[in-house]
């Protein structure tokens, strides 16, 4: 197995720079927002900040937590074998959870916060629009995951002993880079050659 030399720590890929920019811009957003609230003596800026926190950031956090538990369940559940079926269930159930959290949260917010009423004129159009956001996020995250797996596979050192080969194959299989059939075939080849 050929291995590539690991890139130097100072070289950044475009992807790393993009995600760093997004993270840093989020930090600057909150610093700027807090500065405006403090400068405004809690006048007009505070309601905008609270609205952003309640109706964007908390919903996002709830969705991320739910998706984390869904992904964890699907990765650890022994019945989830096929990669295609796993993705189909993950994104299908994930969409139901996503829509449920948003609709449930907005409904609860209308009940709890009488002063902040969220008017949605057409729920079907609203669900279609947030579904498009979900679809875009899924595509971006899937591409990111595939690129990460591909990049990780490039920097795996070549094993020297049969035990290292078996450990490497197991890690590749558990990481989703090898299917069950590929894992079994390569495992047999590694034990025959050794």
How do residues 80-115 score in pLDDT, each as one tens digit?
A: 667 777 888 888 999 999 999 999 988 888 888 766
- Considering the entire predicted model, what is its pTM? 0.58
pLDDT in tens, 112-127: 876 666 777 888 999 9
pLDDT at 135: 92
Q: What token pair was written down for 162?
A: 């049969």
Q: Where are the domains of the chain?
A: 53-155, 158-194
Concatenating the DSSP letter of every residue in the chain gives ---PPPPPTT---HHHHHHHHHHHHHHHHHHHHHHHHHHTTTSSHHHHHHHHIIIIIHHHHHHHHHHHHHHHHHHH-TT---HHHHHHHHHHHHHHHHHHHHHHHHHHHHHH-TTS----S-HHHHHHHHHHHHHHHHHHHHHHHHHHHHHHHHTPPPP-SHHHHHHHHHHHHHTTSS-HHHHHHHHHHHHHH-
Residue with the bigger pLDDT between 8 and 47: it is 47
Spatial neighbors of 162 by CB under 8 A, at least 6 apart, are 190, 191, 194
Longest dimension (CA), the chain: 75
Q: What token pair was written down for 121?
A: 């004129």
Q: What is the mean pLDDT of residues 172-190?
A: 80
CA-wise closest residue to 130 among 20, 24, 55: 55
pLDDT at 17: 67
């Amino acid at each position: 197995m050929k291995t590539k030399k690991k890139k130097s720590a100072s070289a950044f890929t475009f992807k790393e720079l993009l995600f760093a920019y997004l993270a840093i811009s989020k930090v600057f957003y909150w610093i700027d927002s807090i500065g405006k609230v403090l400068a405004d003596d809690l006048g007009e800026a505070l309601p905008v900040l609270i609205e952003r926190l309640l109706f964007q950031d908390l919903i996002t956090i709830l969705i991320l937590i739910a998706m984390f538990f869904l992904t964890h369940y699907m990765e650890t559940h022994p019945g989830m074998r096929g990669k295609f079926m796993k993705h189909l269930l993950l994104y299908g159930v994930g969409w139901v959870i996503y829509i449920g959290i948003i609709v449930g949260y907005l409904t609860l917010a209308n009940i709890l916060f009488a002063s902040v009423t969220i008017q949605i004129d057409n729920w079907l159009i609203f669900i279609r629009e947030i579904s498009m956001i979900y679809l875009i996020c899924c595509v971006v995250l899937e591409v990111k995951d595939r690129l990460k797996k591909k990049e990780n596979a490039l920097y795996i050192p070549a094993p020297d002993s049969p035990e290292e080969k078996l450990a490497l194959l197991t890690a590749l299989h558990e990481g989703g880079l090898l299917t069950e059939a590929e894992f079994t075939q390569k495992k047999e080849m590694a034990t025959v050659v050794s």
